[in-house]
A and B are shown apart, each in its own frame.
Chain A
Amino acid sequence: MAILEEVAQAVESGEEEDVKKKVQEALDEGGTALDIIDNGLMKGMETVGNKFADGEMFIPEVMIAAQALQVGIDIVKPHLLEGQRSFTGKVILGTVAGDIHDLGKNLVKMMLTANGFEVIDLGVDVPVNKFVDSVKENQPDILGMSALLTTTMPEMGRVVEALKENGLRDNVRVIVGGAPVNEEYAEKAGADLYAENALEAVDLLKNK
């Protein structure tokens, strides 16, 4: 369906009106909601993600595209069949206690949302029990933690421990990131995954 390519193109250029129009056309032509999401809207966002990774597109443009994507999703959502999910997975995100850096976390949030994840953002300076309570309450597929200070990194391990103590560790995959964090440290903290940047995070969570 050529119209899906146009949907993708509209997302990429961040033109909300275009997205609305093209998505409606796709529906009128008999396209299914899932097909329009996967092969139209998300395709466009994937291109944006790749261009961002290659330094061809920049944060403000990614944000505009993400908004356009959301407009499209909102239109097709009511057309999803019972049981079909409009998102790839549910993620809880937060910057650990004592740490108020939110740039990286927000970028991850933006990229995950753009890739169809449902994101619950707990904000910054999130204490251990708030992570645990939120996992208990929202039953996410993934818990993502960010730390930008070497002094706050150990919080990640504490959250993982607390998840274990509450019998929640096996229900959720834990991914961590932030400038001072590396693969080795992530393992030490008991995380499942480490991502060096927002795109890698999306890649890992989509494909693993």
Chain B
Amino acid sequence: MIVIGELINASGKKVREAIINRDGEFIASLAKRQSDAGADYIDVNVATGSGETSGEVEDMKWALDVVAGTVDKPVSVDTTDYEVLKAGLEMCGEGTFINSVNAEKGRLDAFLELAREYNSPTVALPIRESIPEEVEGRLEVVDEIVKSADKSGVSRENLYFDPLALPVSVDHKSALVTLETLKRLKEYEGVKSTIGLSNVSYGLPARETLNKTFMLFLMQQGMDSVIMNPLQKGMMAAIKAGNVLLGNDPMCGAYLKAYRNGILS
């Protein structure tokens, strides 16, 4: 289970200000804390909305530089802008995560071209103009993206589809749609999965309980990766435990290591 730490994201006010004010210490500390907590990748989103693309390219380069100087973990370049992505991949090289593509015309092919060039694992959202509410609608978009990827020469192992978590507070069956979509991804041989899952608990109390339980259901269906806040200890502990119980942790090695590192309690 690959954990992508989501905390360096300019939609949060503190991070946005840190980027604008070039507060390297703040960004470095977020990178370090996530890495220590067990994140495998550090997501970097610098869309502050305060300037033009050229500014965002500079922001991305700066933030990636800070992260690379702090932790020895690969990053995930989180952007909708081609130039920003390109600059990020040029800096970080092969194997850098791309977050994300969807079926939006124009962007998909351009992003896939970069994914191929840099052999990048890529988050793919089954979204066109809106989020399809039903499983079938999501799979239609998955189909479209897989076909484009096959054509672009992107290996299927590098496609991480997000089956899309929506709040159960608004529609109490929405998590079932997510789980079923994840199951049906298996129709596409080789593709992988990831999820930004905290949306599921929006509008309800004790969100971590829901997130954690959902996480375990997803893992049971073969989820490969999650985009989340790794500082939530309960979530990280549940992942370690889930890996053991699903037979993905030989001799319980990672579980015991996590225990000794204080991640389980």
Cβ of A81 under 8 Å from chain B: no
Q: Mark A139-174, 1 if CB is under 8 A from B, else 0.
A: 000000000111101000000000000000000000
What are the nearest 4 A-B pairs in CB distance? A150-B49, A59-B203, A59-B169, A150-B47
CB-contact partner of B11 in A55, A179, A185, under 8 A:
A179
0 or 1 for each of A94-133: is its CB under 8 Å from B? (1 = yes): 0000001001001100000000000000011100000000
Total inter-chain residue pairs, C-beta < 8 Å: 49
Interface readout for B64-85 with A: 1 if CB under 8 Å, 0 if not? Answer: 0000000000000000110000
Question: Which residues of A sit under 8 angstroms from B176, Cβ to Cβ?
Answer: none
Which residues of A sit under 8 angstroms from B11, Cβ to Cβ? Answer: 148, 150, 179-180
A59, A124, A125, A179: residue with the most chain B Cβ atoms closer than 10 Å: A59
Q: Are A58 and B169 in contact (CB under 8 A)?
A: yes
Give A55 to B206 CA distance when docked, in angstroms.
11
Alpha-carbon distance A117/B170, docked complex (angstroms): 20
A contact residues around B203 at 8 Å (CB): 58-60, 107
Q: Looking across the interface, which residue of chain A has its beta carbon closest to that of B10? A: A150
CA A153 to CA B51, docked complex, whole Å:
12
B residues near A123, Cβ cutoff 8 Å = 130
Q: How far is the CB of A115 from chain B (nearest CB, A)?
A: 18
Q: Is the CB of B172 within 8 A of A125?
A: no
Interface size for B (C-beta < 8 A) is 21
Distance from B82 Cβ to chain A, minimum over Cβ atoms (Å): 12
> What CA separation (Å) do A123 and B170 show in the bound complex?
16
Give bound CA distance, A100 to B172, whole Å: 20
Which residues of B have CB within 8 Å of A60?
169, 172, 203-204
**Interchain CA distance A107-B170 in the complex, whole Å:** 9
Interface SS of chain B: helix, strand, loop or mixed? Answer: loop
Cβ of B48 to closest chain A Cβ, rounded Å? 6
User: Contact size class for A?
Assistant: 20 to 34
B202 proximal to A (CB < 8 A)? yes
* Minimum C-beta distance from A111 to chain B (A): 12
B187 lies within 8 A of chain A by Cβ: no
Q: A59-B202, A150-B49 are in contact. List 18 more A-B contacts (CB 8 A).
A: A55-B205, A58-B169, A59-B170, A59-B203, A60-B169, A60-B172, A60-B203, A100-B129, A100-B130, A103-B167, A106-B170, A124-B130, A125-B130, A150-B10, A150-B48, A151-B49, A179-B11, A180-B49
Query: Which residue of chain A lies nearest to B45 when distances are taken between CB atoms in the complex?
Result: A150
Inter-chain contact B47/A103, CB cutoff 8 Å:
no
> B252 interface residue, CB < 8 Å from A?
no
Given contacts A60-B169, A60-B172, A179-B11, contact A103 B202 (CB under 8 A): yes
Given A58-B204, A100-B127, A100-B129: A151 in contact with B80 (beta carbons within 8 A): yes
Q: Mark B183-210, 1 if CB is under 8 A from A, else 0.
A: 0000000000000000000111100000
Q: Point out the residues of chain B lying under 8 angstroms from A150, CB to CB.
A: 10-11, 47-50
- Given the interface contacts A59-B170, A60-B172, does A151 sit within 8 Å of B47 by beta carbon? yes
B81's nearest neighbour on chain A, judged by CB, is A151
Give the chain A neighbours of B127 by CB distance below 8 A. 100
Cα–Cα distance between A164 and B143 once the two chains are bound (Å): 43
Residues on B with C-beta less than 8 A from A180 are 11, 16, 49
CA distance A107 to B47 in the complex (A): 25
Known: A58-B203, A103-B202, A124-B130. A153 touches B167 (CB 8 A): no
Most buried by B among A55, A148, A150: A150
Could you mark each residue 1-34 of chain B with 1 if its beta carbon is under 8 Å from any beta carbon of chain A, else 0? 0000000001100001000000000000000000
In the complex, B245 has a CB within 8 A of chain A: no
- Which residues of A152-208 have CB atoms within 8 Å of chain B's CB atoms? 153, 179-180, 185
Q: Identify which of residues 27-62 in chain A touch chain B, using a CB-to-CB cut-off of 8 Å.
A: 55, 58-60
